[in-house]
Amino acid sequence: EPEPETPLGLRFPDGFGWGAATSAYQIEGAAKDDGRGESIWDTFSHTPGRVHGGDTGDVAADHYHRYLADLDLMKDLGLRTYRFSISWPRIQADGTGKPNQRGLDFYRRLVAGLHERGIAPMATLYHWDLPQALQDVGGWESREVAYRFAEYADAVFQGLGTDVPTWLTVNEPKTVVQNGYLHGHHAPGKKDRPAAYLVAHHLQLAHGLGVQAFRAAGIPGRIGAALNLHPCYPADDSAEARSATRLYDGYENRLYLDSIFKGRYPDDVLDDLGPQSRMVQGIRDGDLAVISTPVDLLAVQYYTPYYVTRDGDTENRWPTSQASWQQIFPDGMYDILTRVTRDYGRVPLTITENGLPTPDVVDEDGTVDDPSRISFLRDHFAAAHRAIADGVPLESYHVWSLMDNFEWDQGYAERWGLIYVDYATQQRILKRSAHWYRRVIANDTV
Ligand code: GBH
């Protein structure tokens, strides 16, 4: 095994979009500033027993107050693109009505600061922080919330539209479905399978209505969906494992991809849910046309593969990261990128998340050494390079994450950043991987 820093000599296309990603609730803190309302993640994290260590996003990395210093760190790294999310309850405290100018102003300042530093902004409209007031009227189980989302999106387009070249609608609808409504590990913490897939439909509808609102607003720029995709492989060669893998892939990938790119939900998944399921009952005429409103790009988030057994469970094949759900398998990046291009056409692709948590500590000399992040990124970049060489229209790559942050139900126990955050002092330290990434970007070479 060579030193992880040893270059592989893989050159990326000129101007390739090297970037990093964050989300609002995970980094901003400032939970009560400037008229921000409460989100379901405020409620969830303040409910005892829900989040590791009782951690909350009240302060997080205090990015709301430190964004200028954070912008300077992005510039220091040489980032060409930065993906962040907009907090819905900062724009509409109760999820409806006239936008809160002070909330919009924060993102205006952030976006202006990115432009001043030559970094392209990429904004996600919804990264899981639903206004609590909308949860109180049913949350994503209510079809109405999809229409509220479109109104919120329009307020954001009017407020900062012309300065943001790339928009994403809903971050990882599947994670809301699975973690929010199947296992209950995320807000709103339900375990209700019939509700979960109705929520999937309403999130897809919200996506489509958001794309339509963007077209109606007539502002320049591009918009797409942000999906976490999982390559699914049979755990053995049996016909049973192969057919279980097919259905698993339906729930993990095709439910979201087919509805957006083919205007239909996959038959195998609909059959499995059944005609009396809340989801199937909740699909109205015209919904799939809304959901499949053409997008300008697709944002892919890749973390782990699944190996599916004959009885439809999954098993691990590769070493895991500190997150027990994450198997480290760089070829999965190649497989998912080439598959999307093969099955859904040559829509421009961006990687909007890929990374791993590491148990970082500050050494006596004040440095933070994370060699496993360097080898992880090197190998996943190499897989993306191979996909590009094979014709995949991949234009940018955002590492998850720019900085350590509130990792949802894991609280601050998992550190996913290129930049270390000392939460006691809010001091930032570039990890060894950040210094390595700076050289990758400067040379366009891994
Ligand atoms: C992304 O989610 C998120 O977009 C980002 O906010 C997050 O910080 C990042 O990745 C790192 O996790 O149900 O216990 O088996 C990744 C979503 C998280 C979905 C883990 C599957 C399985 C955990 N994945 N989850 S569990």
CA of 117 to the centre of ligand 1 (A): 30
Run of H or E residues at 133: helix 132-135
pLDDT band of 4, cuts 50, 70, 90? confident
What does the pLDDT look like over 287-333, one tens digit per residue? 999 999 999 999 999 999 999 999 999 999 999 999 999 999 999 99
Q: Per-residue pLDDT averaged across 385-405, rounded?
A: 98
Which numbered atom of ligand 1 lies nearest the CA of 405?
8
Instruction: Report d(CA 334, CA 351) in Å as an integer.
Output: 12
CB burial of residue 82 (10 Å; 0-12, 13-18, 19+): buried
In 3D, which of 80, 132, 131 has the Cα closest to residue 350?
80
Q: What angle do CA 286, 287, 292 make, to 5 degrees?
A: 100
Q: What is the DSSP letter of 177?
A: I
Report CA(316)–ligand 1 centroid distance (Å).
17
3-state secondary structure 206-256: HHHHHHHHHHHHCCCCEEEEEEECCCEEECCCCHHHHHHHHHHHHHHHHHH
What radius of gyration, in Å, describes the C-alpha atoms of the chain? 21
pLDDT of residue 155: 98
High-pLDDT (> 90) share of the chain, %? 98
| Residue 416 alpha carbon to ligand 1 centre in Å | 11
Confidence of residue 2 (pLDDT cuts 50, 70, 90): low
Q: Which atom of ligand 1 is nearest to the CA of 183?
A: 13
Cα angle value 378/381/387 (rounded, 5°): 145
Q: Residue 420 has what pLDDT?
A: 98
1, pLDDT greater than 80: no
- pLDDT digits over 347-366, tens only? 999 999 999 999 999 999 99
Measured from the CA of 355, which atom of ligand 1 is nearest? Answer: 11
Residues 69-106: tens digit of each pLDDT: 999 999 999 999 999 999 999 999 999 999 999 999 99
Gap from CA of 158 to ligand 1 centroid (Å): 31
ipTM of the complex in this document: 0.90
- C-alpha distances in Å from residue 258, one per residue of 65, 200, 261, 360: 41, 13, 5, 39
Active site residues: 172, 353
b/e map 344-371, b = 16+ CB within 10 Å: beebbbbbbbbbbbbebeeeeeeebbbe
C-beta of residue 266 within 8 angstroms of C-beta of residue 250: yes
Write down how long the chain is: 446
Burial category of 146 from C-beta neighbours within 10 Å (exposed 0-12, middle 13-18, buried 19 and up)? buried
Binding-site residues, ligand 1, Cβ < 6 A: 23, 26, 171-172, 175, 179, 183, 185, 228, 303, 325, 353, 400, 407, 416
Give CA–CA dist 143/10, Å, rounded. Answer: 47
- Tell which residue, 321, 315, 429, 442, has the closest CA to residue 375: 321
Q: Which residues contact 182 (CB under 8 A, 6 or more apart)?
A: 191, 193, 196
